[in-house]
Chains A and B, each alone.
Chain A
Amino acid sequence: MIDFQYTRAADIADAVRQIAGDPAAKFIAGGTNLIDLMKENVERPSRLIDISRLPLREIEETPAGGLRIGALVPNSDLAHHPLVAERYPLLASAILAGASAQLRNMASTGGNLLQRTRCYYFYDTATPCNKRAPGSGCAARYGLNRMHAILGSSDACIATHPSDMCVALAALEAKVHVAGPGGERVIAFADFHRLPGDTPERDTNLRVDEIITAVELPARSFAAHYSYLKIRDRLSYAFALVAVAAALEFDRDAIKEVRLALGGVAHKPWRDVSVEAAMRGAPASRASFARAAEAMLRDARGFAHNAFKIELARRAIVRALTQAAAGTPQSQSVKKIR
């Protein structure tokens, strides 16, 4: 851990002013990831700007029929909020699939979007890692890569994004509201996280002088047909090997709308709108789910230890869509897979 300054942000404008004036500073809210990374000397902020007292803890209905979630709403409050639990159970379920109750109590909505990969090498400053130290190389590529990406990776980085909540937000087509020196802007969720490319040190398209103020959910909530299915190395408190957020709407027996997002397989929550488009109008059958799974993974590529994820993801997609179609979503408290 390094020596750092600590300041508080008086309001959002002050937060933006402070971070614009000190690009090596970091915002801190729940600190559930940042503090760990600081202890390991991975994050070395010059200053922590405490935003935890900013008025960003509301969950409000929007005129468009959706929800606006303040960036500081704790993950547990979000998951258990009546409007979320009833109208966006996919989001609630994904949140409850992640971390532990204690971590969810501390972790904020905005912070969840910004959590960093759990790649072993990223966490260990004794090893090469392009994400932590650009240009130093990727030790995971030829090292321990069982947890790593099968989709969208680059020569520079094969890390995955660790969030469960973000997988659901991707499926729900949430929007991220941010504020910066030039004012506010809205980023579509699909554009928020990045693929690693040649710049794996950048996880998101958030600019260094911007702050997340809210996450907005559209009206469409898929409350009747959804499932969040997470496969991991123990039954709770482990990062996903593969996670699937599946959501369906039907017109009689045909699929009217579908959302499919994967976690644990790429540098960002993985969605493929062409696969969803191809599913529209199809029956909710195992065959169409299998076709979708095949299409989702057509470009998947495994490394020495993680090739199993391709078949696992294929099966998990079929299962999650089956659960969603049947209206029997995966329970996050009963660990038996439905």
Chain B
Amino acid sequence: MAYIGTPTSRVDGTAKVTGTAKYAGDAAAPGLAYGAVVTSTIPKGRIAKIDAGAALRVAGVLDVLSHENRPRMARRTAAYKDDVAPEQGSPFRPLYDDKILFSGQPIALVLAEEWEIARFAATLVRVEYDVAPFVTDLHVERERAFAVEQPHKPRGDADNAHAAAAVRHEAEYFIPIEHHNPIELYASTVLWQGDGKLTVYDKTQGVQNVGNYLCAVFNLKPVELRVLSPFMGGGFGSGLRPQYQVTLAVLAARALERPVRLVLTRQQMYALCYRPATIERLVLGAERGGTLDSVGHEAIAVTSQYEDFARNDTGWSGQLYKSRHAKYVHRLARVDLPTPSDMRAPGATTGVYGLECAMDELAVALKLDPVELRLRCYSDRDQHEDIPYTSKKLRECYRQGAAVFGWDRRNREPRSMRDGSELVGWGMASGVWEALQMDTAVRIVLGANGHAEISCAFSDIGTGTYTIVAQVAADLLGLPLEAVTVQLGDSTLPQAPVEGGSWTAASVSHAIAKTADEIRKELWRLAKAMPNSPLAASRLDDIALADGRIIDKKDGGRGVPMADAMRHGRRDRLACESTNTVKEDTSHARNTHSAIFAEVKVDEELGVIRVTRVVSAVAAGRILNTKTARSQIMGGVVGGIGMALHEETLVDHTLGRMMNANIAEYHVPVNADVHDIEVIFVDEPDDLVNPLGIKGVGEIGIVGVAAAVANAVYHATGKRVRDLPITVDKLLR
């Protein structure tokens, strides 16, 4: 294959760096009106009064919408349930009624001829509230947290095994609320065409999910609505569910009967969704020889008052290492904040942080090298179901990662390694995620000019989907990469789920494979029908597409150009669309794995931490594009450094309000915080996970990174900080 597995540069790179790639807030239309959102200043209660008089008197203001005067929206809460909404609960309905469910909730929408006018008028809307008692602090609400069902069942008798264990470790690890902070602001532009049809440019990871949602909320027929999200400036999970700006933009377009653009401010985006604050309680029981007897993992996370958001935090602990006894509990604490959401490797990022720090502490207690402990607890079979993996090269991740990092030169004693005034710490952790695949459809249109167009509704959220689609299609159709164009992010294109879970690469690639196979059959039929066809006697099984030709692999590459076959068959174009349906197969576990090694240098006196080196060795099946995949892993490592050292949404629990809702005060790593990151893709051939051996790399890059950094900080300083982020004050405490 010419393209699969190569470091192909992004096919949309030029469009992005030259500004020709248009984002949701870029769409324009004559007569565009602009919206500005007014948000609640209290976390709970009801709106007693909205006075929009002063706003309405501003020249250029078209209308001010609120629950009192908005156009009709669905009453049934079920209509607001999108594809990825939590099963339990009723989704938030913007401008629906006078109830305040969280601080920063949209309560009015000012519409004006110009954006500046809308924004000014929004400051003039006067709101009176009846305030109700509220709570936003997980630590206050944890006692009232309730257990929710978890995907994985306990095994053995973890409590008794723990009590009897020779070596025990118990601790709580805390992850604060974190926000996705994609660089692109949430935006929607609704084009009003006057024929009752709406075209919606929306920042979303799932155009069909948004389309279905809008149809249900506004009682539209699918043909009356088209949702586009051709490019996205980062999502990290924040765009999986329809966000309120799209609901309000459609509401406004219907109210005004004209096109409307609504762009949220950075500050407003903090009230969309977030990674939930979570307490991870780990209870490990081990033999002195360094094998685990029992694993207990309890997670306590926040959720909103109106939906139960829970992910698999705890199950990784019973899966990743061999232990006879395992027990999991996941509890939710209701707080007066918006519903949390998926954020890069949801559940695993938080749960594995706890597990991998706990394993590090256990290694210290056992006086074992942390890699050695993990090798002694290594499991070649999935512990939940006692089934084999389709592939699991985690051992190889440990080996290659450690070798590149130079782990064998590590002195196990904390505070034993120095570089001048700095303490040096080396820490490591494992990572794990799922290799998922979803039903997906792809259309291929092959022209007689040798050009193919591939289309699918999936969004490219910046990960490189356009590029891998072009690579896979070029290889399977036997065309040069330049002869393939790709259309994504349009709800009218063939069906795809939301872009998430690391399932896009495998899902879309196999849909391409299936559709390309139909193109191959068509071309073979046409080729056979040609006069004096060299393929007259060929069998379909032997036919391949290569270099723009239909060839017989068995017969020395004998074949005919595709263009000739199509011309003889009088076909300008071949168009095929098919859906690749994924059959459930529970005979094997499907996972990606990683081993992360981190070096920190810590100024002993001042507690300033520098992450000077990270090596991430990843086993994720076949890597379609080593360049974009490497970027994914590097981005995950940077996210993990941020989680370990910087990121925290500060909530004033007296006001029930997020207070650092901007990217000056919400810290993510900047260039100075990121040094050498080395990515290793461990060779992991896998023809069981799926025919092309693709597992996906979107999430695995972040899992375990925060633990590796935290473990390195412990190794450097001898101080174990379990509450993230690890800041100067905690280190000096």
Contact = CB atoms under 8 A, between A and B. Distances in A.
B603 interface: yes
Given A124-B659, A234-B669, A308 B728 contact: yes
Interface string A33-59: 000000111000000000000000000
Contact of A308 (B119, B654, B671, B732): B732
Interface in B597-628: 601, 603, 605-608, 610
A82 to B, nearest CB: 26
Chain B contact residues: over half helix, strand or loop, or mixed?
loop
A118 B664 contact: yes
Contacts of B265: 39
Contact of A144 (B652, B667, B669): B652
Interface in B678-733: 727-729, 732-733
B142 to A, nearest CB: 20
A337 interface: yes
Interface string B136-150: 000000000000000
A123 to B, nearest CB: 8
Contacts of B81: none
B631 interface: no
Given A120-B660, A308-B728, A337-B603, A236 B672 contact: yes
A46 B123 CA distance: 15
Contacts of B655: 126-127, 139, 143
Interface stretch (A23-31, A218-226, A311-319): A311-319
Nearest to B103: A126
A234 B673 contact: yes
Interface of B: 41, 58, 103, 116, 119-120, 123, 265, 267, 421-422, 601, 603, 605-608, 610, 645-646, 650, 652, 654-655, 657, 659-660, 662, 664-665, 667, 669-673, 727-729, 732-733
Contacts of B660: 120
A3 to B, nearest CB: 5
Contacts of B119: 1
A221 B608 CA distance: 29
A337 B652 contact: no
Contacts of B732: 308, 311-312
Contact of B606 (A121, A146, A312): A312
A312 B605 CA distance: 9
Interface string A122-141: 01101100000000000100
Identify whether the interface residues of A are mostly helix, strand, loop, or mixed.
Answer: loop
A233 B673 contact: no
A186 interface: no
Contacts of A311: 732
A311 B733 CA distance: 10
A126 B271 CA distance: 14
Contacts of B729: 146, 241, 305, 308, 312
Contacts of A241: 728-729
A142 B654 contact: yes
Nearest to B661: A124
B55 to A, nearest CB: 12
B610 A335 contact: yes
Interface residues of A, number: 38
B329 to A, nearest CB: 31
B421 A337 contact: yes
Contacts of A207: none
Interface of A: 1-3, 39-41, 118, 120-121, 123-124, 126-127, 139, 142-144, 146, 231, 233-239, 241, 305, 308, 311-312, 315-316, 319, 335-338
B123 A2 contact: yes
Contacts of B672: 234-237, 335
Given A41-B123, A120-B660, A234-B667, 16 more contacts: A1-B116, A1-B123, A2-B123, A118-B664, A120-B665, A121-B659, A126-B655, A143-B654, A144-B659, A234-B645, A235-B670, A237-B670, A312-B729, A335-B610, A335-B672, A337-B606
A104 to B, nearest CB: 14
A326 to B, nearest CB: 12
A2 B118 CA distance: 10
B47 to A, nearest CB: 14
A236 B671 contact: yes
Most chain A beta-carbon contacts within 10 A, residue among B267, B659, B660, B727:
B659
Contacts of A231: 606, 608, 728
B659 A120 contact: yes
A144 B666 CA distance: 13
Contacts of A338: 421
A1 B670 contact: no
B608 A337 contact: yes
Contact of A234 (B123, B652, B670): B670
B650 A144 contact: yes
A315 B58 CA distance: 55
Contact of A336 (B610, B645, B669): B610
Nearest to B36: A1
Contacts of A315: 605-606
Given A143-B655, A234-B670, A3 B650 contact: no
A127 B421 CA distance: 43
A26 to B, nearest CB: 17
In the complex, the 7 A-B pairs of residues with the closest C-beta atoms, listed nearest first: A126-B41, A236-B672, A308-B729, A235-B672, A120-B659, A337-B603, A143-B652
A139 B667 contact: no
A211 to B, nearest CB: 27
